[in-house]
């Protein structure tokens, strides 16, 4: 919960306090250890979660346009917008 919410120190303190008050929750000593660990390793943990959730491919370029039909057999098809999207994907880090 702490890592997925990327809690700041105030949120962490409130969360751990609530956990110590829950029946069957953690002790004050355990809360202190968790808080110290989170303070020292928050950036590393956050970066690790981001890297794990990233796809192998990344978006390198994107082009788009909207076309309108100006001629058609049927009058109801004129001025019908059509979006065309072109996306170029590449490997992460290349």
Same domain, 77 and 62: yes
Same domain, 11 and 37: yes
Instruction: Please state the pTM of the whole predicted model.
Output: 0.55
pLDDT at 80: 80
Residue identified by tokens 């039909």 is 69
Element (H, E) at 32: helix 28-53
Same domain, 23 and 63: no
Q: What is the mean pLDDT of the chain?
A: 87
Q: Helices 9-21 and 28-53 sit at what angle, rounded to 10 degrees?
A: 130
Contact 91, 57 (CB under 8 A): yes
Same domain, 63 and 28: no
Provide the residue range defining the domain that includes 76.
58-90
Q: What are phi and psi of 8, to 5 degrees?
A: -85, 180
Closest CA to 47 of 16, 11, 6: 6
Residue 65 has pLDDT above 90, yes or no: yes
pLDDT mean over 37-49: 92
Q: Out of 32-36, 51-55, 59-63, 72-76, give the one with best mean pLDDT.
A: 32-36
Same domain, 39 and 69: no
Residue 94 has pLDDT above 70, yes or no: no
Same domain, 63 and 45: no
Residue 54 has pLDDT above 90, yes or no: no
Count: domains in the chain: 2
Same domain, 36 and 66: no
The confidence band for 2, taking pLDDT boundaries of 50, 70 and 90, is very high
Same domain, 10 and 49: yes
Q: Is residue 8 helix, strand or coil?
A: coil
């Amino acid at each position: 919960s702490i890592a997925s919410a990327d809690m700041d120190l105030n949120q962490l303190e409130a969360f751990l306090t609530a956990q110590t008050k829950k029946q069957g929750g953690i002790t004050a000593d355990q809360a202190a250890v968790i808080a110290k660990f989170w303070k020292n390793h928050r950036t590393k943990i956050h970066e690790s979660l981001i890297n794990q959730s990233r796809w192998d491919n990344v978006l390198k370029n994107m082009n788009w346009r909207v076309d309108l039909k100006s001629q058609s057999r049927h009058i109801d098809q004129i001025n019908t917008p059509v979006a065309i999207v072109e996306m170029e994907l590449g490997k992460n880090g290349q």
